[in-house]
Amino acid sequence: MRPPQPRTSLLTLLAALLAAPDAARAEVPHLVRVDAARALRPLRPFWRSTGFCPPLPHNQADQFVLSWDQQLNLAYVGAVPHGGIEQVRTHWLLDLVTARGAAGQGLRYNFTQLDTYLDLLKQNQLLPGFELMGSPSGHFTDFEDKQQVFEWKDLVSVLARRYIGRYGLAQVSRWNFETWNEPDHHDFDNVSMTEQGGRCLLGSCRAARVGWGEMQCPEDTPDPPFHPGFLNYYDACSEGLRVASPELRLGGPADSFREPPKSPLSWGLLRHCAHGTNFFTGEQGVRLDFISLHRKGSGSSIAILEQEAVVLGQIQQLFPEFKDTPIYNDEADPLVGWLLPQPWRADVTYAALVVKHQNLLVANASTAQYKLLSNDNAFLSYHPHPFSQRTLTARFQVNNTRPPHVQLLRKPVLTAMGLLALLDGEQLWAEVSRAGAVLDSNHTVGVLASAHRPEGPDDAWRATVLVYASDDTRAHPDRRVPVTVRLLGVPAGPGLVYTTRYLDNRLCSPQREWRRAGRPAFPSAEQFRRMRAAEDPVAAAPRPFPVGGRLTLRPELALPSLLLVHVCARPSGPPGQVTRLRVLPLTRGQLALVWSDERVGTKCVPVDIRDPFLPRWPGVQPGQQEAVNVQPLHIQPRCTHSHRPGFSPLCAGPPTYLAGGPRASGRGWVQGHELKATGTLVLQTQLLSLAPTVFEPWTTGPGQAPSPTLCRTWRSLLPEGRQLQADWQGA
């Protein structure tokens, strides 16, 4: 599938990488040591979040949030395996709600558009980061108006009860309800959020405690005569959620917490929650289930951590009652400005930087309860910068076909989220040194390592070692970093094997293929094939793990690059069944298949998808066999076969088609695994792929519908036909 560099040559190159002789190295290698017998602590995947903001005007947010392009984008996001991304934090959600009625006479709300968006998230196994942000039909204008404060509380209560009824409390209690985004930036869209009582660190210097003297507030600053509108708004959010269920959580203020007296609303919210008076109950103090802050880097991973440390130190000094409150940095991007084109955002530089940032946080010895990191990168890119904006996918609006259509390509940063998803819940001891000196995490080479202990008779031991080479936003095309990886302490187990996956800008950069093609605005089908062939890391076939529990690899890593070593023992039973098979009709002759790995129960099963029946289906002509050209969203250590005539398979060796779709065994201990949609369609799959989602290129643009002929064909074949029709009409 990558014609200039066949799969066999890539595997040969990877083997050469791992076996490079010491004599060829011009510099002292980094030594990466991992002890699988030394578990340090739980490793919680706090990085599983992304987000985006719909463009102006926000009262037309539905045109973006519910567009076909964004539906495909969310399918890609939700396709990261093993819940690798589970939250999408979205601005202006309440602008998807419309209101009818007059103030004081009762309001009625239409939640149809919000229902549709939340259903879309759920369908892709994603949770909303639910910012209580927006004004339904522009009704809310002033939160110093008590009538509007009570109406807002009622709105939040109605909304929360609605979705508890729709999805269940177990689901909605996992949502992170949050305040209006970045209140100190005053982006309120004609809603008044006053700062009265918020200045000079929250208005009352006479109430200041020890340590507040540095804020230099005038001694005669009066106490606020009334609640500022923002605090009224917060109390209404809190009490509205509490009426629906005390199990729903609320946090904020989702802002930068600049040095006081700046950011008065952010600091004011903390003081209000610690010592203020609840607008509704009159009680002192208001719940704050998590503190969310926004600190971004200036192209540096360590800069984010340093800024966070300053803010968290101030919070703990001024408000010790919040020392155990969870901390979220839910806009922790390396650089502000999502639409600002940056070369490093296009390739593995961004991917390696994201992994490095997670490792810095894991290694941080801070006492703060850091629980969530989110990068705001679920936007949709646009011409002429399909790769270089802050996105997970590269979007091409192809206007030279009828009808115009959209294609999304997976950027390396999205693939990196799949690599992170292979980490498990037990952090292993790991160390990087060079010439005998131990290095901290803020260096070019770093490592995250984890293990999984069997939890039942059908489970098995596994370990993951993820090594990065990163100089933050700087790429060094001609530099290679010699590394020695030593994994020891691996327990003996049945059928113990290991595999490697490698990602760098020469082998795994769709953007590089696009540039080689001359940066076409409307790439041809062949050019898209070449770009897609560069989406996946180079993966080596499983090899027996050395006897004695020790493994040594000596790769030379490009700068930047990622290397993952995965060690798996053979389970005593087969994996679980893949579920939730969906078909997304795209355009004539092409579609997307989406499924879930939630019941598979292991991260150590290879994936292969085959369809022997497609040429015989009604409505599909021999020249349209690309309708199920199954290309995985992530790594394919084995084969995924193309059904297009004349296509090369994605791995060495000829395609193998199943006669009648019986279960087939994979090489060694790995067995195949069926995805049954109907009695005639059997997709044979072996799940070692990083992703449970498969996409083939062509999609439709905003406002365009997929081919009605294709929709009718699939509705006649699959039991979900009615759902497919609804999806098509809604697109």
Q: Are 173 and 249 in contact (CB under 8 A)?
A: yes
In terms of C-beta distances under 8 Å and separation of at least 24 residues, what long-range contacts does 18-25 make, across chains too? 18/500, 18/540, 18/553, 18/554, 18/555, 19/554, 20/482, 20/554, 20/555, 20/556, 22/554, 24/556, 25/482, 25/556
Other C-beta atoms within 10 Å of 692: how many? 29
| Run of H or E including 596 | strand 590-596
Other C-beta atoms within 10 Å of 29: how many? 20
The yes-or-no answer on residue 182 being catalytic is yes
| Run of H or E including 486 | strand 476-488
Rounded Cα distance between 720 and 718, Å, is 5
User: Nearest-CA neighbor of 653 among 664, 663, 641?
Assistant: 641
State how far the alpha carbon of 472 is from the alpha carbons of 8, 385, 412, in Å. 31, 21, 15
Helices (H) and strands (E) in the chain, counts: 16, 29
Q: Which residues, listed in sequence order, are joined to residue 497 by a DSSP beta bridge?
A: 544, 568
312-348 residues labelled b (16+ CB within 10 A) or e (exposed): bebbbebbeebeebbbbbbbbbbbeebeeebebbbbb
Catalytic residue among 86, 131, 178, 182: 182
669: phi then psi, degrees, rounded to nearest 5: -85, -10
SS3 622: helix
State how far the alpha carbon of 483 is from the alpha carbons of 355, 471, 562, in Å. 17, 15, 12
Other C-beta atoms within 10 Å of 22: how many? 9
Q: Give me 137's structure tokens.
A: 């039909």
Strands lying side by side in the sheet with 290-293: 49-52, 87-90, 127-131, 176-178, 249-255, 290-293, 327-329, 370-373
The type of residue at 431 is E
Q: Which residues, listed in sequence order, are joined to residue 500 by a DSSP beta bridge?
A: 565
Q: Are 193 and 186 in contact (CB under 8 A)?
A: yes
User: Nearest-CA neighbor of 373 among 436, 412, 327?
Assistant: 327
371: phi then psi, degrees, rounded to nearest 5: -120, -20
Q: From its phi and psi, is residue 78 left (phi > 0), alpha (psi between -120 and 50) or beta?
A: alpha
| Block residue for tokens 């949770």 | 127
Q: Which residues, listed in sequence order, are joined to residue 563 by a DSSP beta bridge?
A: 467, 502
| Residues labelled as active-site residues | 182
